[in-house]
Structure formats: C-alpha cells, structure tokens
Amino acid sequence: MIESLKKLKIGKIIKSPKMSEYTTYKVGGKALAIIFPDNIDKLIKLLDYLHKEKIKYKIVGNGSNLIFSDNNYEGVIIKLDEFNNLEIRDNIVNVGAGYNLIKLSLKVARLGLVGLEFASGIPGTVGGAVYMNAGAYKSDMGYVVREVKVLTPDLKIKTLYNKDMNFHYRSSFLQKNPGYICLEVKIALRKGDPNAILEIIKERKQRRIITQPLEYPSAGSVFRNPSNDFAGRLIEELGYKGKHIGGAYVSEKHANFIINKNNNATASDIKNLISEIKEKVKEKYNIDLIVEQEFVD
C-alpha cells in the first residue's frame, strides 16, 4: 500500500507513525501511515485511491481532541497541514483548514480585528475548530464563520454557508456528517483596537495558566458543560480532583481536565477514568455528562 501511495505522488508520507506523537494526550498505537496531501487535487486523488482499495482513513488536525486506542489504527491518517493559505481583506479572512487556530487568533488581533479572541488558547487547526464548533468565553466558531469550502463524500467541492453548518454547542454539520471534509473557511470579523484586543488575550492567557493544567499533556475539557452548570464543579464535588487510574489523573487545577501526568498513561487509563466519572456523576446527580473528546479505534 505504501509503495502504491508513493507512486501517486500525493505529498509527504510517514510510515507506521506512533499516534502518541500526533495527539496532545500523547497516547495511542501506530497507524499504517500519515499522509500530508500537497493540495486539494492531491487529496481527492488520495481519497479516490483509499475508497477503491477500501482502506480506512481519518482526517486529523492537531490531535487536540482525540484519544487514539492503544491498539494500532488499521488505516491511514490524513493531515491537512499544507492547506495553510491565509488571505485577509478588510475584515474578511479566508484561511485553509490546516492553519493553526492560535496563530490565526493572534495574527488578526494584531491587525485590530475583533471576534477570534476566544480562540487564542485553543490548540487546534481551523478545520478541527469548525468541525467541533470550538469555543470559549461564551463565543465559538459559529459566531464568526461565514462560509466553509468542503469536499463532499462523492469528492466534489462545495460551499456551505453558516446556516447550512448547523452550529450548536460543540457541534456542527461536519460532526454529524463525517464524510464531509473542511478545506477552507471564510471568517467575518469586526474592526477594533489592536491594543485592547491583545490585552484581553493576555489577561485570558494568565487566567488559563492559573486555572488549567497547561504544563501536562491533555486534550482540554473532557465533558461538555450541562445546561446551567459546569462539569468541573460536579466532578470536584465528587472529590475526584487528583483521582487517577494508571497514569491518567483528574487535574488538581481543573476537575474537567484529565492529564497524562508522567507521560505513562495509556489510552485505556484515560478512557476508564472518563467512564468512571461519567458513571459517578450520573449516580449522584442524575446528569448524563457528554464527552467532548473523540475516541478513535
């Protein structure tokens, strides 16, 4: 398969990568290969081959919301790092799906564009953020995304507008229709004072350092906040701060974070700890916590 892929001249190929090196939790077995398509045409060529050969695949951004199994992933990982074009005209931003979200947030802030400050601490790609409808500070991608250029399951390029994207709390059309792939995004921002925007970003960064375990591998918030409450508060009330299974720990700083404290956690440790917390919260509060992170087998 690797030789066949090389002959297609799609882009860079890494054989048998450890997924622990491509996810922020730093866990997971190996995949068959990671491929970095050079452009949309090469991506279409790759997907056409994978469909015909019935080879499993997954599109991955920064791996900041994924928990790969300890077992090997019997398929191909596709990373759109080369889809990193950026064009800014007045208050409109056209950006590739592989562009780093934090980098984009800081860039537009320095240009005095308001609306992406919430994303300054979200360690994903633009495509991953649209897929998840990533957000913070009572804002999310749904507020700023105007259009999304996608590849459809039958490998056609199509534009979806904000109303088509069905953005809801940590959810989008792409999440419910995984055959669609985000290629490029048009974002509409507002003009503002760069110094004021950068000051907000600086203050929020300081707050995150104090309240979140940024020094350890994690994937951010584990659970979505239930209506009119906070998952972290419920977990803390259970006395679960510091609780661990194997190398996976509930953070002492923020109970809705699970950390790979000494870099010796397994995916199973994390999964089992998530399951236990979910079960205990249901038992005590009769609340079904929804896992924000994605398990990949």
Catalytic residues: 170, 221, 292
Pairing between β-strand 66-68 and β-strand 294-296 as defined by DSSP bridges: parallel
Which residues does 85 contact at the CB level (< 8 Å), separation at least 6? 94, 95, 96, 99, 184
Q: How many residues does the chain have?
A: 297
Single out the residue of 212, 213, 218 nearest to residue 265, CA to CA: 218
By the 8 A CB rule, do 121 and 115 touch?
Answer: no
CA distance 205 to 202: 5
By the 8 A CB rule, do 217 and 22 touch?
Answer: no
Which residues does 15 contact at the CB level (< 8 Å), separation at least 6? 2, 32, 33
195 burial via Cβ count (<10 Å: 0-12, 13-18, 19+): exposed
Residue type, 95: V
**Lookup: tokens for 224:** 């979505």
